């Protein structure tokens, strides 16, 4: 969190939410979007605009019965030089 607090404008965050295979696909997709949206709100509280890319249900791990791994949010974060240059202008 230290880096986020000191360089929030340089950070690009992409978020993908997931749900397991139980329940209706439409409900699970909406649930996974809400999960990702909650994480995006957390980043927003620190001044970072996070992009929720998608919500997804029924990932590949379902074939192995690992539903606990499907109930997750993946966060992809990177600092960009282009935003640093824009901030300096």
Segment 28-79, tens digit of pLDDT: 889 999 999 999 999 888 888 888 877 777 655 545 555 667 888 999 988 7
pLDDT for the residue numbered 43: 86
Residue 67 structural domain: 2-80
Domain count, the chain: 1
pLDDT for the residue numbered 80: 76
> Which position has the higher pLDDT, 10 or 73?
73
Whole-prediction pTM: 0.69
Asked whether residue 26 is assigned to any structural domain, the reply reads yes
- pLDDT interval class at 5 (50, 70, 90): low
Between CA 52 and CA 73 the distance in angstroms is 10
CATH classification at residue 73: 3.30.1330.60
Asked whether residue 86 is assigned to any structural domain, the reply reads no
Give 52: exposed, middle or buried? Use CB within 10 Å, 0-12, 13-18, 19+.
buried
pLDDT for the residue numbered 37: 92
Give 35: exposed, middle or buried? Use CB within 10 Å, 0-12, 13-18, 19+.
buried
Asked whether residue 88 is assigned to any structural domain, the reply reads no
**Radius of gyration over every alpha carbon of the chain, rounded to an integer in angstroms:** 16
Asked whether residue 16 is assigned to any structural domain, the reply reads yes
């Amino acid at each position: 969190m230290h880096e986020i607090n000191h360089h929030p404008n340089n950070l690009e965050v992409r978020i993908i939410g997931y749900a397991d295979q139980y329940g209706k696909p439409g409900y699970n997709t909406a649930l996974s979007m809400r999960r990702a949206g909650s994480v995006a709100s957390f980043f927003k509280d620190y001044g970072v605009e996070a992009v929720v890319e998608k919500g997804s249900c029924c990932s590949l791990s379902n074939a192995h019965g690992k539903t606990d791994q499907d109930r997750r949010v993946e966060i992809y974060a990177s600092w960009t030089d282009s935003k640093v240059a824009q901030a300096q202008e």
